[in-house]
Structure 1
Amino acid sequence: MEKVAEIIAEASAEVVEPRFRALAAGEVMEKAPGEVVTIADREAELIIARRLRELLPVPVVGEEAVAADPALARALHAEPAVWLVDPVDGTANFIAGRPEYAVMVSLVRDGRTVASWIRQPVTATTYTAELGAGAWRDGHRLTRTPAGTDPAGWHGSVKTRFLDPARRRLIEGNVGAFGEVTGGRHAAGIEYPDIAEGASDFILYWRTLPWDHAPGSLLVTECGGVAARLDGTPYQPDPPGGEDGLLVAADPATWERCRATLFAHR
């Protein structure tokens, strides 16, 4: 666990942090319509992938490598163990000079996330989680307190970008039952720790790319929260294009109440 934390911290310090608020012309590119990437993403992924393979020689499924060759993501189902890498989570924030970005890695064995690491460079904070062994922030164990029984006191986020119009209207008509609902902080590596730390009580995602959600989902579940598909099935990382919809909440009761409230037909 410590060695992977060192790898991502060193890669971040070497090629990501020096470019924060200092990206030069030509260092931001469009990799797909509406999707941007920076030289920091690409260089960090190469460094992290190489060092992870030295540590454990299994396939590395990196966000940028999959953008170039989508077939690489099949390793999540085809291989007994896989590294997942998100070299700069929250790239749009990073480009805009906003501090909400992270560097993330997870280890998947037999389709289950068994370990994860989230590094928030601006605060030099590292979150780690290990299946069955707990969740940690810089060596301090995290335990999530239940959100309480009144949704009017809950704070959460709903991601509407990839929702179909009918479902978006339904959910937007129901969010008034909660104390506060935002559009999120545009970086899973910030949003999942917010739930683990008690700064947020729930979040609804729709598109669920594995490198975005494997690290944080393990962090939340290992501190007592829930990360599950809308039918209640625990989240497991799938290649892009798989099932949509993921509700993350502080505790099982909050998860059930959020799902019932968000999707209630009135």
Structure 2
Amino acid sequence: MHLDDVTDILREAADAAVTPRFRALAAGDVDEKAPGEVVTVADREAEELIGRRLRALLDAPVVGEEAAAADPSLVRALREADAAWLVDPLDGTANFVAGSPEHAVMAALVRHGETVAAWIVQPATGRAYTAERGAGAWCDGVRLRRAPGAAEKLRGDALTRFLDPDTRAHVEAAAPHFAELGAGSKCAGFDYPRLAEGERDFVLFHRTLPWDHAPGALLLAEAGGVVRRPDGSVYGPADDRTGLLAAADAESWRTVRDRLLPGSPSAAPATTTAR
């Protein structure tokens, strides 16, 4: 299997199921799968297309966002199977429904509980991001190398929607300590690439569903960044705890953690890059 094989699958699924419906959703194309959570016919069709093609490349369980919504036990494959595919057929569905170009099609390959390869395709921009564990990260074939952040000029985002009121208040009060503190794109398939390419220096997430974060976390780590839980522990796709802080480098991670979140100081070692 070559990285480009999966990129081609994601592009073809986007061309067939996603892009034709962008800003052209018909009545009945959008449902609410949970309070405040929408799903479209594009999500479902893209997931079916991607899953079938990925299994032809490597016969392994496919943990897709929509299939897992119907059967949460599918996520066990990330811990129990020797290999498993993760698929987010339309990351940023709410953006897509609203007509925003900030949506993506993503996949990751997990072996023995660790993400070993990742793909992010942005249909509206045409960009494709790939990463392979221990071998690097790329955008359209160009190697990504994340430069360290500058402590007094850190720019980032904090997704506060699901935070408890006290933590949200703490985060909002910390805004003056940063050059910029935004709300993110509501699409991990845009947030992680912006961080890997230097547009942002950090992103704080609360919900950490594996299909949302496994692709971007590997992309950033292979570009030289750091992705850790707020307590300093390493992120893994089979870990269902909440809270995740991604940053340009270990020093930036510690600085952001200690400025942004209440609680004990960061435990992330200064010389370790999470992968």
TM-score interval for Structure 1 and Structure 2 normalised by the shorter chain: over 0.9
The correspondence for 2:19, drawn from 2, 17, 35, is 17
Q: Is the 8 A contact 2:167 2:262 kept in 1?
A: no
2:129 corresponds to which residue? Answer: 127
2:54 corresponds to which residue? Answer: 52
* 2:211 maps to amino acid: W
Report matched runs for 1:22-171 at 5 Å. 22-150=24-152, 153-171=153-171
Q: Is the 8 A contact 2:217 2:227 kept in 1?
A: yes
1:195 aligns with 2:195: yes
Aligned pairs, how many? 261
* 2:105 maps to amino acid: V
2:273 corresponds to which residue? Answer: none
1:66-95: per-residue Cα shift (whole Å, max 9, x none)? 111111111111111110000000001100
SS at match of 1:172: helix
1:176 corresponds to which residue? Answer: 176
Structure 2: which 5+ runs fail to align? Answer: 264-275
Percent of residue pairs identical: 57
Q: Is the 8 A contact 1:174 1:264 kept in 2?
A: no
SS at match of 1:8: helix
Distance of 1:115 and 1:235 partners within structure 2: 15
Instruction: Please state how far the C-alpha of 1:174 moved relative to its aligned partner.
Output: 1.4
Instruction: Please state how far the C-alpha of 1:170 moved relative to its aligned partner.
Output: 1.6
SS at match of 1:118: strand
Distance of 2:233 and 2:116 partners within structure 1: 17
The correspondence for 1:247, drawn from 229, 233, 245, is 245
* 1:55 maps to amino acid: L
* 1:35 maps to amino acid: E
CA RMSD of aligned residues (A): 1.0
Distance of 2:107 and 2:227 partners within structure 1: 18
Q: Is the 8 A contact 2:207 2:243 kept in 1?
A: yes
Structure 1: which 5+ runs fail to align? Answer: none
Distance of 1:171 and 1:97 partners within structure 2: 29
2:9 corresponds to which residue? Answer: 7
SS at match of 1:83: strand
Distance of 2:166 and 2:150 partners within structure 1: 30
SS at match of 2:46: helix
2:269 corresponds to which residue? Answer: none
SS at match of 2:151: coil
* 2:15 maps to amino acid: A
Instruction: Report runs of 4+ in structure 1 exceeding 2 Å deviation.
Output: none
1:219 corresponds to which residue? Answer: 219
2:237 corresponds to which residue? Answer: 237
Distance of 1:238 and 1:177 partners within structure 2: 33
Q: Is the 8 A contact 2:129 2:139 kept in 1?
A: yes
1:158-205: per-residue Cα shift (whole Å, max 9, x none)? 011111111111222112100111111010000000001111110100
| TM-score between both structures, scaled by the size of structure 2 | 0.93
Distance of 1:75 and 1:264 partners within structure 2: 34
1:104-128: per-residue Cα shift (whole Å, max 9, x none)? 0000001100000000011111000
Instruction: Please state how far the C-alpha of 1:264 moved relative to its aligned partner.
Output: 4.9
Instruction: Please state how far the C-alpha of 1:103 moved relative to its aligned partner.
Output: 0.2
